[in-house]
Amino acid sequence: MAERVVIDPLTRIEGHLRIEIESDAGKIARAWSETTQFRGLEEIVTGRDPRDVWAFVQRICGVCTSVHAIASISAVENAIGSNPPPQARLIRDMVLASQEIQDHVIHFYHLHALDFVNVAAAATADPAAAVEFARQIGSTWKGNTLERMTAVRDTVRAILDSGQLSIFTGGYWDHPDYRLPPEADLMAVAHYLDALEFQRSMIRVGTVFGGKNPHPNFLVGGMACTIDPNHSESINQVQIDQIQDWIAESVEFVGTCYVPDALAIVGVYKDYFDIGAAQPNFLAVGMAGATFAGDPATSTLSSAHTAVRPGVLLDGDLATVHPFDLTKIAEWASSAWYSYEDGDVGLTPDRGETTVAYTGPTPPYTWLADNPEYTWCKAPRYDGKAVQVGPVARVLLAYAQGHERTKQIVDDAAATLGISLDQLNSTAGRTLARAVECLTSAEILANETFPTFAKKLRGGDIEVFDASRWAPDSWPDHATGVSFVEVARGNLSHWVAIDGGAVSHYQAVVPTTWLAGGRDAQGQQGPYEESLAGNGLHPLADPSQPLEPLRTIHSFDPCMSCAVHVLDSSAEELEAVTS
């Protein structure tokens, strides 16, 4: 008899996600992905000056900061005909790259690795054996010293002895499917702490150009910062040199620490290359960081990130790249708490509606999946198909198009692990693809984007703003715009209509919407749901410790929405949720 399992809240993600599962004989039979928080930012920006919208929609997320701002200003620029100077585009590329590298590192070490790494076991490890394990997996990270491993082992022991597990509270440390040897656990915990230090460097890149982090400053028509290598009041040579050092540090950390760690961990959990497959359809408009103001399929913009052209892989055919067509994108609300004026249809985002129609029970919930509507997340489809976006989609598109560096890293990893290309559509495959992409992104930033920016600076190019379309009287009475940006979690698009100088319509289709959406009118599951219950073989050994489904959902790196506080009219706390 099927047993009902609820994971709520699903932690180590951004925002509010609830997973409901029916399991039978240690396998997942059915699954539902449920986003339980409504925010409505798209409605908030309606009627506002389009030049200000980026500041509001950037707050969609505090983890993937910057990406919504850049998507918004690009969509507005497309609508009003603004063309940012090349240096402004390069700055945006650097901000996006630094954010993506930081995001991938945070995801692997701080959000996902603890699904595979047993922190408690690290306390029993021999530090010298941990150093030797790092050497054996090819990690040349400078932190792999006996002194460092001993200090971390002693710290973990002290935490366990105190009874206060702090950030490691809530882990299923006695689950039988933790497989790494203790020395690998110790190495991974040490690198977890090193990654906390490393991410500060990548934050600084966006902070220098944007003035602060999170939520740096941007500008329709370019960038809000000024650049002059010879003046202290602007971004000058001292800061440019610092940025170069931080970028070099990112290449070192990703190449000598992150990638070897990821390969080692997925190698131990190799069966997860056959677990967690979602629909074998993949969509991307370029490599990570590719940004298009307008239709990517017709864009003439060229950058390091557009070396891979927009495309779609369908039905498991990983060799045939189908042309990307933005008119084939539609969002369904069949299983979501929204109503469309024309009923249960798929709407293209330029016609998208955000009309709330909550039909669910009064919280706290017991079980939502008995209802046709069970989530706040719409269900995007491409030409009627559920598709995956994100690092695995971009890596597969790059591989299909012969991107040399991507093919080299993937082929080396596949040979080491003994896997085939189609096995990247899996829990372990998504984890590996993120590491592959992080390395190529760091190398592109260090070897192409930053050197191009610096060369232009040496040539005297310091222009970062196009003022020709700033004034509203230079805009048409009615204008529409769209942008597509490949960000850490996948394909992001913003759609805007402007009438009389104000926003009249706004929609954002975010990566997690593509992945976390529920069933559509045809009954197709969203990718999260499919990855858990697509073939009825996903393991769930102990419903009280649902480690296996956490591994799969975390491999997508969910980013639902930022947390909110719920108060009654007298400002008394209604509910306290801890995990």
∠ CA 544-547-553, rounded to 5°:
120
Three-class secondary structure of residue 244 per DSSP: helix
Stretch 17-24: mean pLDDT: 96
Handedness of CA 481, 487, 492, 494 (dihedral sign): negative
Q: Which comes out higher in pLDDT, residue 170 or 437?
A: 437
Q: How far is CA 91 from CA 84, 216, 446, in A?
A: 11, 12, 13
pLDDT at 576: 41
Domain assignment of residue 576, yes or no: no
Burial of 319 (0-12, 13-18, 19+ CB in 10 A): exposed
231, pLDDT greater than 90: no
Segment 439-498, tens digit of pLDDT = 999 999 999 999 999 999 999 999 999 999 999 999 999 999 999 999 999 999 999 999
What does the pLDDT average to over 181-195?
A: 98
Per the domain annotation, does 93 fall within a domain? yes
- The residues, any chain, with a CB within 8 Å of residue 566's CB and separated by 6 or more, are 574, 575
Reduced DSSP (H G I as helix, E B as strand, rest coil) percent helix, strand, coil of the chain, to 5 = 45, 15, 40
Give the span between the Cα atoms of 501 and 524, in whole angstroms: 40
Q: C-alpha distances in angstroms, 112 versus 161, 401, 419, 445, 518?
A: 25, 29, 21, 25, 23
pLDDT tens digits along 266-294: 999 999 999 999 999 999 999 999 999 99
How much is the average pLDDT of 202-206?
87
CATH number of the CATH domain containing 511: 1.10.645.10
Distance (Å, rounded) from C-alpha 397 to C-alpha 402? 9
Greater confidence (128 vs 60) lies with 128
The mean per-residue pLDDT over the stretch 221-227 comes to 94
Query: What are the distances in angstroms from CA 8 to CA 19, 250, 415, 518, 537?
Result: 7, 35, 38, 17, 22
Query: In sequence order, what are the residues at sequence separation of 6 or more whose Cβ sits closer than 8 angstroms to the Cβ of residue 432?
Result: 262, 263, 266, 413, 417, 424
Q: Which domain holds residue 12?
A: 3-554
pLDDT computed for residue 562 by the predictor: 32
Report CA torsion sign: 532, 553, 42, 38. positive
Q: Check if the beta carbon of residue 312 is closer than 8 Å to that of residue 322.
A: yes
Q: Is 316 helix (H, G, I), strand (E, B) or coil?
A: coil
- From 376, 519, 360, 367, select the one nearest 17 (Cα to Cα): 376
pLDDT digits (tens, 9 = 90+) for 314-336: 999 999 999 999 999 999 999 99
Band of the pLDDT at 571, cuts 50, 70, 90?
A: very low
Comparing 174-188, 244-258, 293-307, the range with the smallest average pLDDT is 293-307
User: What is the mean pLDDT of the segment spanning 372-391?
Assistant: 96
Cβ(391)–Cβ(432) below 8 Å: no
**Site of tokens 């409505």:** 40
User: What is the pairing mode between strands 379-382 and 478-487?
Assistant: unpaired
CB neighbours (10 Å) of residue 5? Answer: 18
> What is the distance between the alpha carbons of residues 542 and 533, in angstroms, rounded to a whole number?
16
> What is the pLDDT confidence band of residue 214, given thresholds at 50, 70 and 90?
confident
What percentage of the chain carries pLDDT values higher than 90? Answer: 83
Give yes or no for residue 575 having a pLDDT over 80.
no
List the one residue out of 89, 70, 71 whose CA is nearest residue 453.
Answer: 89
Percent of the chain predicted with pLDDT > 70: 96
Q: 124-154 burial, b for 16+ CB within 10 Å, e for fewer?
A: ebebebbbebbeeeebebebbeeebbbebbe
CA distance 135 to 149: 13
How many structural domains is the chain composed of? 1
Instruction: Look at residue 1 in the predicted model and tell me its pLDDT.
Output: 65
Give the per-residue pLDDT at 561: 56
Q: Which of 197-206, 282-291, 397-406, 428-437 shows the lowest mean pLDDT across its residues? A: 197-206
Asked if the model's pLDDT at residue 179 lies above 70, the reply is yes
- 193's tokens: 């702490």
- The answer to whether the peptide bond before residue 214 is cis (omega within 30 degrees of 0) is yes
Q: Is residue 560's pLDDT more than 90?
A: no
pLDDT, mean of residues 385-390: 98
Q: How far apart are CA 383 and CA 329, in angstroms?
A: 6
In a domain, 467, yes or no: yes
The 10s digit of each residue's pLDDT in 511-527 is 999 999 999 999 999 99
As a whole number, the mean pLDDT across the chain is: 93
Contacts of 521 (CB under 8 A, 6+ apart): 332, 334, 344, 345, 346
The C-alpha atoms of residue 29 and residue 190 are separated, in whole angstroms, by 37
Does residue 564 lie within any of the structural domains? no
Residue 354 and residue 337: Cα distance in Å, rounded?
10
480: phi then psi, degrees, rounded to nearest 5: -130, 150
Q: Is residue 570 part of a domain?
A: no
pLDDT at residue number 411: 98
In a domain, residue 186? The reply is yes
Is 387 within a domain? yes
Mean pLDDT within 156-178: 91
Name residue 294's amino acid.
Answer: G
**Domain membership flag for residue 573:** no
- Band (505; pLDDT cuts 50, 70, 90): very high
How distant, in Å, are the alpha carbons of 201, 383, 556 from that of 281?
A: 35, 11, 15
- Packing angle of the helix pair 427-444, 86-106 (nearest 10 deg): 140
Q: From the DSSP assignment, how many helices (H) and strands (E) are in the chain?
A: 17, 11
pLDDT in tens, 39-56: 766 678 899 999 999 999
Write down the residue that tokens 């009615």 correspond to.
Answer: 478
